[in-house]
Structure 1
């Protein structure tokens, strides 16, 4: 299914989430803002005739870090203290005709940690999807890391890196984020992000529905969730 995005809107949403979630993030300026700035530099270079395909990723050894929380099980705060780290690793291409960035393939990874070890890690993939004569991949999917990493590949409506970060904050800081996002301060700092996020999720859900309805002769619905999409979604 892959997707395209407007680089200015991506930068705005990264900045808005960083501002709104500043008390939930550690070293926001150094890492999250660096991701936004690097995207802008890559697009401007492509517009000037530089590389049309580029890597967009968090700097090596510099993940986006979520602050420690005991709130991940709920408001009672009786859980062990955990924090999370997120990295982005995308291969992108500049589409000069549309004025948009296309994600050719990419992954956003989240690791849940205590101070000593990783308790759980998972990632959200975007790829062309489909059957490659050995295995099938839903074009947007989530995988949980373990002793066997390749399966399961769970179809997902969460894939956009802003939404993955937002999801990680929501999971780790359960009631705290919900309460904060609904305050006047939270709503003002999030700006256009909620409306854009809603549109992204609807478009992805509609894409899955289209795959199920237009089966191309196949009757097995779970197989249809692993078919290649004919076009990238504009998210």
Structure 2
């Protein structure tokens, strides 16, 4: 996946500009952002903040005038460009940065064509768009990680107020059901397989939403699953397996 060539398409009207570096850093975990474009009516003062960060991050601004009051014309420009890029075969995946549900059908269409689709948006993003992506990351998490880094806080020991969601019964059930679905005949599930399965079931699943940098510390915090650390044959590397109690 990290070898994927990604087209990063940003809806400037629906996401903040303050953490663009963290945003691009997150995207780089999933592929190489070879095309980076941002869409807005750049004559509007509401997107002025973006202008200062475009050049240093090599993001190409696309001008789209608002011909009708109350309508986001940037959406149409972004969708047209996405379809052009799809048929050009220059990329193998897309990252749509927006908190707008208008891109739900676009994400679905791109996935139907075999593209990897990642979404980034704020917590207010409607569920249909989140579900339409292969992976969705909340921008608030990236903001909190930046603040933690600036305060030299170890990510795996973030304070409770760093989490977007609370550990509750629905999370525990999600993990328990997922363990059951990917486990072997003895009920043991490999941690890596579990993580991939959780994202398939809920595209916005991310341990960072609960204040943990990785899945394993979150599992241990819950304390309701058996844990087996098995030797891998490599020095200082263990394979983690989980089972429902």
Higher strand share: 1
**TM-score between both structures, scaled by the size of structure 2:** 0.27
Structure with bigger RCO (C-alpha 8 Å, 6+ apart): 1
**TM-score between both structures, scaled by the size of structure 1:** 0.28
